Structure 1
Amino acid sequence: MAHALRHAPQDYGLVLDEGGWVDIDLFLEGLRKHSKNFENVTIHDLEKVIEGSDKRRFEIKWVSTCFLILLIFHAVFLPFRSSNI
């Protein structure tokens, strides 16, 4: 999952938003197309991986009409702005 969200989202057909989020359906589709190992992956599989990880690098949340997934702290590096101080 980290490869798809952090290292090479373009290889999975993904475009993360400015906060590092991506639609979970697009994420699953990207995983399935990228590797036969993931051809049957579901949101429940992702939830199990996230719940079983002690690193807590991923988050799934419901927004409006879709689920989104985020690679926490690693997905996006925002530019420094002095107004943030």
Structure 2
Amino acid sequence: MNLVELSKTVSHALRHAPEKYDLNLDDEGWVETNLLLKSLGEKNPEWQSLRVEDLQHMVNQSEKKRHELEGEYIRAIYGHSVDGKFRKDNQKP
């Protein structure tokens, strides 16, 4: 699996174009990981077998720490171009 390509696509989905991935970010930029995985699998057949563990591996291997996972949720930490301001001070329960 190409982690760089995955990270770029996840960043695009969570920072710039969640609507293109049929995702609705909450007020803090979080989205359910299962919804993200489903969308990624629909966009790229190679990612149909992606799991939460793969996202965790992507997050852990990233030098720039662009994403964070909490429980069943994931978000981009910075660099959003979508409308609205996200509060980044709270963790997802």
TM-score by length of 1: 0.79
Structure 2: segments with no counterpart, 5+ residues:
1-9, 87-93
**Superposed, which structure 2 residues align to 1:70-81 within 5 Å?**
70-75=75-80, 77-78=84-85
User: Does 2:60 correspond to 1:35?
Assistant: no
Task: Find runs of 4+ consecutive structure 1 residues off by over 3 angstroms.
Answer: none
Identity of aligned residues (%): 35
- Note if contact 1:11-1:34 (Cα within 8 Å) is conserved in structure 2: no
TM-score by length of 2: 0.73
- Note if contact 1:4-1:12 (Cα within 8 Å) is conserved in structure 2: yes
Q: State the shift of 1:37 in Å.
A: 2.4
Larger strand fraction of residues = 1
Find the aligned partners of 2:79 and 2:32 in 1 and give their Cα distance. Answer: 17
Alignment length (residue pairs): 75
Structure 1: segments with no counterpart, 5+ residues:
80-85
Q: Which residue of 2 aligns with 1:83?
A: none
